[in-house]
């Protein structure tokens, strides 16, 4: 009897595992999802995804996006802010790929102008990029390890696209499946990482302590947060990403741009709105602006 119960339990476990894997989007469903992405129309929500299903779907979606968008220029760590995690009913970050043409250039003097309907479910948020200098970043265990392996810190307003019919129903695996909503973003003037150790320690502290703000053209605050809102230090997002990529046989390369996550709520754009992100307490960091048309 005990053997029969054991076999029944094993059969049930295999069935459950098979059912979980079955929720990875089919090739045809992935094609449909990317077609909606290209057309900027809301796609059906991926349903009942496990974390493995989300990663499987992201792989299919990324293969299709690469055919359309070309070169991968970096990665984005998403859901790195506990407040944003709560919105998507998860307790851990996720990641996606950034492709050529996604990162637009802008600064406070002119900024960048973007269509308010740049995606099916367009949003904006205060973010930050870093640029990889060395493959040592893939072995980073601390924020200082990350700082030693990058050469630029870049103010960034990310313009994600949640792209599905019912964004509130997305969970962490669903966000993974849609390549973490990577669509566009506006990069400001790069801040070089200093050469001297004492200056690096000062920069490390400033990144944790800085106050990031989004304001409109009148100066009214739209949102924001502290550097430490991202995993207690924004460069911890890169530490997490290095481990997550390694699990899938991937690695960051010199020149890659890494998006760290959101310092602010995700907000909807509207035509005529001009948004400026400032990084108070981060010496030398110029504001970055986007105007929606």
Give the mean model confidence (pLDDT) for residues 240-251: 97
Average of pLDDT values for 250-259?
98
pLDDT in tens, 72-111: 999 999 999 998 999 898 999 999 999 999 999 886 666 8
Share of the chain above pLDDT 70, in %: 91
pLDDT (0 to 100) of residue 10: 36
pLDDT at 288 over 50: yes
Instruction: Determine how β-strand 103-105 pairs with β-strand 184-187.
Output: parallel
Top-confidence residue, 20 or 88: 88
What is the rounded CA–CA span in Å between residue 16 and residue 52? 13
d(CA 43, CA 179): 13
pLDDT of res. 17: 37
Distance CA 206, CA 190 (A): 16
pLDDT, position 120: 98
The values of phi and psi at residue 124, to 5°, are: -140, 155
pLDDT of residue 2: 40
The pLDDT of residue 171 is above 60: yes
Confidence at residue 187, expressed as pLDDT on a 0 to 100 scale: 97
Average model confidence (pLDDT) across the chain? 92
Q: Identify the pLDDT of residue 23.
A: 83
Average confidence (pLDDT) over 205-226: 98
Structure tokens of 242?
Answer: 């290095």
Q: Is the dihedral of CA 196, 279, 267, 122 positive or negative?
A: negative
pLDDT of residue 203: 98
Residue 236 pLDDT level (bands cut at 50, 70, 90): very high
Q: How far apart are CA 77 and CA 156, in angstroms?
A: 13
**SS3 assignment for 10-36:** HHHHHHHHHHHHCCCCCHHHHHHHHHH
Residue ranges of domains in the chain, CATH in brackets: 72-292 (3.90.850.10)
């Amino acid at each position: 009897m005990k053997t029969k119960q054991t076999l029944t339990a094993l059969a049930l476990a295999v069935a459950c595992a098979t059912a979980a894997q079955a929720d990875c989007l089919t090739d045809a469903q992935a094609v449909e999802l990317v077609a909606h992405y290209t057309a900027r129309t809301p796609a059906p929500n991926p349903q009942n995804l496990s974390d493995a299903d989300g990663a499987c779907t992201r792989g299919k979606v990324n293969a299709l996006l690469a055919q359309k968008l070309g070169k991968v220029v970096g990665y984005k760590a998403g859901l790195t802010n506990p407040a944003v995690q709560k919105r998507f009913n998860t307790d851990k970050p996720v990641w996606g790929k950034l492709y050529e043409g996604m990162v637009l250039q802008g600064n406070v003097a002119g900024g960048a102008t973007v269509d308010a309907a740049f995606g099916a479910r367009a949003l904006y948020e205060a973010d930050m990029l870093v640029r990889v200098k060395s493959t040592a970043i893939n072995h980073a265990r601390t924020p200082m390890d990350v700082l030693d392996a990058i050469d630029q810190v870049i103010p960034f307003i990310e313009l994600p696209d949640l792209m599905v019919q019912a964004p509130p129903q997305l969970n962490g695996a669903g966000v993974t499946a849609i390549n973490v909503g990577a669509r566009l973003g506006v990069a400001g003037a790069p801040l070089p990482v200093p050469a001297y150790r004492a200056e690096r320690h000062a920069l490390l502290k400033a990144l944790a302590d800085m106050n990031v703000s989004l304001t409109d053209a009148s100066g009214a605050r739209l949102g924001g947060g502290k550097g430490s809102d991202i995993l207690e230090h924004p460069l911890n997002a890169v530490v997490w990403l290095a481990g997550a990529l390694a699990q899938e046989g991937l690695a960051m390369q010199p020149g890659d741009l890494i998006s760290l996550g959101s310092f602010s709520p995700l907000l909807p754009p509207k035509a005529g709105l001009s948004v400026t992100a400032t990084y108070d307490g981060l010496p030398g960091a110029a504001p970055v602006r986007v105007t929606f048309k």
